[in-house]
Amino acid sequence: MRLRTLLLVAILVTLSASTAGAPADTSGQMSDLMTKLQLQHAKLWFAGKLSNWNLAKYELQQIESNLEVAGNLLTDRPRADRTKEQLQAVRQALQAKDAAAFATSYADLTNACNGCHRNSGYAWIAIQVPLTLPVSNQLFVDQVSEGRALARASCATCHIVSDATKGVLAPRPAPAAPPFQDVVKRPSFTADGLRQFLISNHRRLGPDQAMPNPRLSEYQIEAIVAYLETLRPDQPH
């Protein structure tokens, strides 16, 4: 019995050692990375196309991180580094908020990806500038910027609409109404409360009962809510 136990232990140790020394199969890891990169590639396009520069920068960072991991799985590391020039060009376009430069650099990045596929023996995997949204449950416009523009168009006749990132205040209009920065400081202010307020028919509000109903759609209301929340002093800008 004791001899059988010793033999079993020896077999298990041998199997463990051989498994540890075997080369890791990276094909599954690479496939998962390429799937993530394909989605991020599409998201980057729509974020840049719709001038959501912060989202575009975020997606570019995700692409760079995943390409770095992919490069570590390849035996030919220089092959993975060939897209760095194109990535840098995309980054510069995003920083400059240059839509034309972004479109050009994005096309160059796409071509570089396809070139890497061909050089790796995967010429039959080709990507393109996406034609439709990659997901239906994400907004690719800058919701806060949309809300700021809507607030200026619908509310600036009476309210002071400020830009929290620049500290810009327009001259006080007439009739006088509380600036948005004062509204968001009220203890009673909440996103849900603002949402319900904008949905309701608030035609008879204010000291002169002169506040009109802006008649906003649901997506417009959500954009204005997102914008006003950025004006709160406890929120990062």
- Domains of the chain (ranges; CATH) run 27-119 (1.20.120.10), 143-230 (1.10.760.10)
> Among 50, 210, 186, 189, which Cα is nearest to 130's?
50
Residue 22 pLDDT > 80? no
CB 201 within 8 A of CB 213: yes
For 27, the token pair is 């094909």
Give 179: exposed, middle or buried? Use CB within 10 Å, 0-12, 13-18, 19+.
middle
Judged by average pLDDT, the poorest of 17-26, 107-116, 200-209, 214-223 is: 17-26
pLDDT of 153 reads 78
Residue 144 pLDDT > 50? yes
SS3 79: helix
User: Dihedrals φ, ψ of 26, to 5°?
Assistant: -95, 0
Q: Stretch 204-214: mean pLDDT, rounded?
A: 59
For 82, the token pair is 């060939």
Residue 164 pLDDT > 70? no
> Among 222, 218, 227, 217, which Cα is nearest to 159's?
227
Rounded CA-CA distance 161/173 in Å is 10
pTM (whole model) above 0.85 = no
pLDDT of 77 reads 59
Angle (CA) 98-125-38 rounded to 5° is: 45
Give the C-alpha distances (Å, rounded to integers) separating 69 from 9, 27, 61, 165.
Answer: 37, 13, 13, 35
Residue that wins the pLDDT comparison between 182 and 133: 133
In the predicted model, what is the mean pLDDT of the chain? 79
Question: Rounded to the nearest 10 degrees, what angle do helices 53-73 and 84-96 cross at?
Answer: 170
pLDDT of 2 reads 56
pLDDT of 201 reads 62
